[in-house]
């Protein structure tokens, strides 16, 4: 059975932004013919925790993915960052994915324990909480994407595809 993977990205949130690297990367991934999995994309989620979470939960219920890869832009980072956890007030939720195993052998991926305090962490926490509350076997990770350039795009694409393949084979 083909693995079902839901991939999400955010819209821009500042007036001077031309695009959001999370969405840019997913547009590149959508053009690949080499990924043998059932990919569903939620592009340009609103930069609002409640609205974005609602759209993702609705898509989870509809698509019933095996894996969810939420993506967000991290302009200050230089590598892909896989987030281990997300928090809300005193509560901390962690991904059920073995992140170290997931990134083994990758060129430019780092493990992060700081999802930030913006909409990225809010969405990640909401999705992890929803999966836990509903006792779903779906696994979720959050990947922060640096600003994409012609120089870093090939390596970032290769590492991102590696993540997708490793998730699907786990």
Instruction: Express the helix, strand and coil content of the chain in percent, nearest 5 each.
Output: 35, 25, 35
Residue 35 main-chain phi, psi, to 5 deg: -95, 115
Residue 12 confidence (pLDDT): 86
Q: What is the pLDDT tens value at each position of the chain, 170 positions in all?
A: 789 999 999 998 767 768 899 999 999 999 998 899 999 999 999 999 999 999 999 999 999 999 999 999 998 999 999 999 999 999 999 999 999 999 998 888 999 999 988 899 999 999 999 999 999 999 999 999 999 999 999 999 999 999 999 999 88
Residue 25 confidence (pLDDT): 96
Residue 112 confidence (pLDDT): 96
In tens, the pLDDT along 131-160 reads 999 999 999 999 999 999 999 999 999 999
Alpha helices in 19-83 (DSSP H): 21-30, 49-63
Residue 18 confidence (pLDDT): 80
Domains and CATH numbers, the chain: 4-169 (3.40.630.20)
Take residue 15 and report the two structure tokens written for it: 């007036």
What's the pTM?
0.96
């Amino acid at each position: 059975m083909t693995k079902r993977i839901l991939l999400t990205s955010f819209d821009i949130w500042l007036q001077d932004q031309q695009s959001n690297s999370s969405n840019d990367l997913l547009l590149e991934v959508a053009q690949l013919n080499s990924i043998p999995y059932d990919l569903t994309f939620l592009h340009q989620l609103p930069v609002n925790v409640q609205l974005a979470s609602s759209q993702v939960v609705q898509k989870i219920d509809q698509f019933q993915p095996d894996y969810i890869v939420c993506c967000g832009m991290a302009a200050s980072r230089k590598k892909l960052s896989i987030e281990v956890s997300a928090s809300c007030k005193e509560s901390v939720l962690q991904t059920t994915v073995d992140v170290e195993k997931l990134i083994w052998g990758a060129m430019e991926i780092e493990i992060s324990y700081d999802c930030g305090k913006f909409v990225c962490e809010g969405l990640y926490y909401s999705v992890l909480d929803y999966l836990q509350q509903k006792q779903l076997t779906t696994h979720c990770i959050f990947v922060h994407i640096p600003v994409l350039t012609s120089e870093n795009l090939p390596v970032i694409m290769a590492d991102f595809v590696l993540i997708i393949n490793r998730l699907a084979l786990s």
